[in-house]
Amino acid sequence: MQLKFKGLVAISIITLIALIGIQGYLIYNTYELKKKTYTIDARNAIAKVYNTKELDSIMWLYRTDFLENLVAYEKGNLEGEDLLLKLREKTQEINPEFLKLFNDGLSKDNYNLKIKKVLTSITLTDSLGNKNEIYSTDETNDTIILLGENFAPSDGLLINNSTWQDDQTPIKLNFQSSIYMNISDWSNIMLKELSGLLILSSLLFLFVVSLLYYSIQNLMKQKRLAEIKTDFINNITHELKTPLSTLALATKTLTSEHANGNKEIADGAVKIIERQNTRLQKLIDQVLQSSLGYKQIQLSKEDFNGSVFLNEMLDDYMLSIVSPDITLNRNIESTGLPIHADKFYLSTAIINLLNNAIKYGGTKLTVDYGVDKLDSTHYISVKDNGIGISPKYQKFIFEKFYRVSEKDTHNYKGLGLGLYYTKQIINAHGGNISVKSEANKGSVFTIKIPIS
């Protein structure tokens, strides 16, 4: 079952990872599609504004001026560098008006874009077919921006290459330029475009993770309940088998010929039956008591002297201990503050701790009692030198039917109900119980009851 459970968990995690991968892939594809769609829409919006008569007339201003200067260049009245300088000056002069009209046109479509038109090359061809390239971006780092705003080449997206040719003069003109656009708040735009999808995906992801977590928790709970049920059945079968076998033997003895007329044998068999009957009754009572939660325990609280109560209870308890190897040390303070509790249930809880200490190898027991002024409680601690409890098991020991010993070994008899019932008693008093222990180093159980 352990292997099957781990397999189910592994498959669930792999499935979740696969779903995350698929979801991430779909979101990425949607992002790319949205980006492409937005880019196409932005290009169309730019083309719509760029091709208006108003902007076209502005662009013809630098073209006309350039043609006039080109005539002077042909006559030798103007150098190539001066021709480019005059082109730059003219475009800088008309650029503010261009930007105003362009941005006003784009704002109608709610686009926040930048555009720049860059000169890429100017080639002059004479009547003999000789070509003179007076400017080329391949041969210079001096970029001439004809129109628009400047931004880094890496931030621009090429949307158009255009060629203006003029053969009205003896020298034919080939004027090439490129138009780039820049979307400055690209991340915010895409986030806005995909916000609905991202929110839905996140909610779906959280739902799937929560469902997986809930399912694994339930599987673990069901697995644990199944193990507890199996342990309980094994343990109670083992606990019942001994008294039942003894009862069968005692009954057989009573009905045998040896018991007839022999009062000693008959009385011995009857006492065995009485003891085993008492043991069976205790086992049944323990199971019935374990069904009570702390809210169902009916307490009859009273005020009493804690030190007197503990000394009397421990005196009575030690009378039932027949082993000479077991010693009990007491560090019981006279606090002067009464305990407000149910004597019967509180003594039951303490005796459960003492019985557990002896059951699990404790021979030197110590009971401490006093008042903790920091949290205003009476504390009662039971310390032993037994086998101890590994830290990894300590969070489970107060659960119903839980036993630290390995399955079916039965090194230590019991049903795993003592500590559970003890905790319910202390909870019913509004207190708490804790444990400090290490394997093979003994244990210390501490009960705390609020000072009334």
> In this structure, is residue 45 part of a structural domain?
no
> In this structure, is residue 36 part of a structural domain?
no
Integer CA distances (angstroms), 408 to 225, 277, 322, 336, 379, in order: 17, 25, 28, 48, 36
The reported pLDDT for the residue numbered 332 is 93
Number of domains in the chain: 2
The reported pLDDT for the residue numbered 307 is 93
- What domain range is 374 assigned to? 302-450
Mean pLDDT of 417-424: 83
pLDDT digits (tens, 9 = 90+) for 297-348: 788 899 999 999 999 888 888 877 888 899 999 999 998 899 999 988 898 8
> In this structure, is residue 376 part of a structural domain?
yes
The reported pLDDT for the residue numbered 410 is 43
The reported pLDDT for the residue numbered 288 is 63
> In this structure, is residue 157 part of a structural domain?
yes
> In this structure, is residue 366 part of a structural domain?
yes
pLDDT digits (tens, 9 = 90+) for 83-103: 889 999 999 999 999 989 888
pLDDT of residue 445 exceeding 90, the answer is yes
| Residue ending a domain, choose from 151, 184, 217 | 184
Same domain as 306, residue 446: yes
Of 173 and 407, more confident: 173
pLDDT digits (tens, 9 = 90+) for 276-292: 777 677 667 656 665 55
> In this structure, is residue 142 part of a structural domain?
yes
| Residue ending a domain, choose from 184, 210, 234 | 184
pLDDT digits (tens, 9 = 90+) for 189-246: 777 777 887 788 888 888 888 888 888 788 777 777 776 666 666 656 655 665 677 7
pLDDT of residue 413 exceeding 60, the answer is no
Mean pLDDT rounded to a whole number for the chain = 82
pLDDT of residue 271 exceeding 70, the answer is yes
pTM for this entry? 0.47
| Residue ending a domain, choose from 134, 153, 184 | 184
> In this structure, is residue 146 part of a structural domain?
yes
The reported pLDDT for the residue numbered 409 is 34
Same domain as 169, residue 309: no
Query: Which CATH number belongs to the domain containing residue 351 in this structure?
Result: 3.30.565.10
Mean pLDDT of 241-252: 73
The reported pLDDT for the residue numbered 287 is 63
> In this structure, is residue 353 part of a structural domain?
yes
